[in-house]
């Protein structure tokens, strides 16, 4: 299951804009492929999302439409930048939330709703480069969890760096919430 999930997670949309991170690094651990897995405490971050229950086979066909719905709503409100794309995977069904980091109090239209990325202790890695390689960051974090006998709390998510036409300058943060 993880292999197919990693493959599907590798197909992600690039982010459009940068946002401020609010977190505290607790530890860094290098993994063999050169990715660093970091354990840190993060604050919950508000989002605007479209929610869905889908399948991993269907997910590659539906995520872009979900993200487009969020951006259509933001564009209608005059917002064209400043919101990094996010994908939250609540479980292995998967129940997903696709959207953007968004804290503006302006009303949102259906099906876009307010939500948040979880706060708490996470293990994370940053993938740099084309989205086709993002699975390595997921594998690195899950490998770190297994190697350190840590326990996952359930959700995982991706926060995309700002849009860039040069694949070498693209980066994506991959998070897995850890159980206390």
Per-residue pLDDT of 75-99, as tens digits, reads 998 888 889 999 999 998 999 999 9
- 2-178 belongs to which CATH class? alpha beta
Strand order in the sheet with 36-42: 23-30, 36-42, 120-128, 171-178, 152-160, 85-89, 95-101, 45-53, 113-117
Return the pLDDT at 81. Answer: 86
Return the pLDDT at 34. Answer: 64
Return the pLDDT at 164. Answer: 87
- CA of 26: how far to CAs of 40, 43, 95, 148, in Å? 5, 14, 29, 15
Return the pLDDT at 19. Answer: 28
Return the pLDDT at 110. Answer: 92
Q: Rounded distance, CA 114 to CA 26, Å?
A: 29
Predicted model pTM: 0.80
Mean pLDDT by 10 residues, the chain (180 residues): 32 26 40 74 96 95 96 91 94 94 88 96 93 90 94 94 89 94
| Segments making up each domain of the chain, as ranges | 2-178
Per-residue pLDDT of 116-135, as tens digits, reads 999 999 999 999 988 888 89
């Amino acid at each position: 299951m993880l292999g197919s999930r990693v493959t599907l997670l590798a197909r992600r949309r690039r982010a459009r804009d940068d946002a401020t991170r609010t977190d505290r690094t607790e530890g860094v651990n290098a993994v063999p492929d050169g990715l660093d897995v970091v354990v840190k405490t993060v604050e919950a971050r508000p989002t605007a999302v479209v929610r869905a229950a889908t399948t991993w086979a269907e997910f590659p066909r539906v995520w872009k439409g979900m993200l487009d719905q969020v951006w259509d709503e933001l564009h209608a409100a005059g917002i064209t930048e400043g919101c990094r794309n996010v994908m939250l995977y609540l479980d292995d069904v998967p129940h997903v939330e696709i959207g953007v980091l968004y804290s503006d109090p302006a009303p949102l239209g259906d099906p876009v709703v307010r939500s948040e990325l979880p706060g708490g202790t996470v293990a994370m890695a940053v993938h740099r480069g084309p989205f086709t390689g993002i699975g390595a960051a997921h594998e690195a974090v899950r490998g770190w969890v297994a190697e350190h006998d840590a326990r996952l709390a359930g959700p995982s998510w991706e926060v995309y760096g700002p849009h860039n036409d040069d694949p070498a300058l693209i980066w994506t943060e991959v998070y897995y919430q850890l159980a206390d």
